[in-house]
Amino acid sequence: MGGARQGDLFSAAADLAGTELDPELPLLRHQLLAWQQALARHQSPLFTGSNAVVQQVGLFDDPQPAAGGGHPHLALNPLQLRAQPLSFWRWPEPPQRGAALYFVLDHSPVGAGQQTQPLLLYVGETGRADRRWKGEHDCKQYLAAYCEALARLELAARLSIHFWLDAPESARQRRALERSLIQRWLPPFNKETRGRWATPFTADGD
């Protein structure tokens, strides 16, 4: 991606790091680590506090929260779901089919202290879990740019994808769950939250 675009999108993280970005310069190590740390501060309590068992699909007949309480699906912890490589769709037999919510995580060390902290980068929904990751996908472009930025700074990404296969068959209900989870976790590669995190990893022309 171009330096000017990267600098413009990364201004919020630069403020967190106490510096100003020169739009002609590449992303600096401390700026990227500050961006990761800001995301980790929001998500870490959700990973450590989301231990309730997710209820089955019948509880989601009404996608609107009940008065005075939330839905059990908000307790969903992606770390409790099976981790798969992003290349899963190349396998001869797909490990999952049908309706699903899916979560893309990075398990690389975060921040100046390089402590291991999972980062939820993207939440999606699909009616075809065996096919959704094939072909074009916006998130693939953001992940490629993210990995490129880390590699340039001699940092590593440890990406995985996790599918929740108890999702409703109804697309409307799945999208309602997806919206609620995005609002809770604020994953930076979803379009609804890119402005919040000043995400620097969107592709040119997006």
Instruction: Retrieve residue 183's tokens.
Output: 């609002």
Mean pLDDT of 116-125: 91
Neighbours of 36 (CB within 10 A): 21
- Give percent above pLDDT 70 in the chain: 64
Alpha carbons within 13 angstroms on the beta-carbon side of residue 149 total 28
Cα separation values, 12 from 46, 110, 111, 206, Å: 23, 18, 16, 19
Is 85:160 a contact under the CB 8 Å cutoff?
yes
Span of 65-69, 121-125, 151-155, 161-165 with lowest mean pLDDT: 65-69
pLDDT over 70 at 11, yes or no: no
- Give percent above pLDDT 90 in the chain: 28
Instruction: Retrieve residue 9's tokens.
Output: 């999108």
Mean pLDDT of 164-179: 92
Phi, psi of 45 (to 5 degrees): -65, -30
Which residue's entry shows tokens 């980790």?
Answer: 40
Domain boundaries, the chain: 3-61+71-197
- What lies within 8 Å, CB to CB, of 23 at 6+ separation is 3, 4, 6, 7, 8
41-96 pLDDT, tens digit each: 999 999 987 443 333 333 333 444 433 345 556 678 999 998 888 877 676 676 67
What stretch of H or E contains 40? helix 29-49
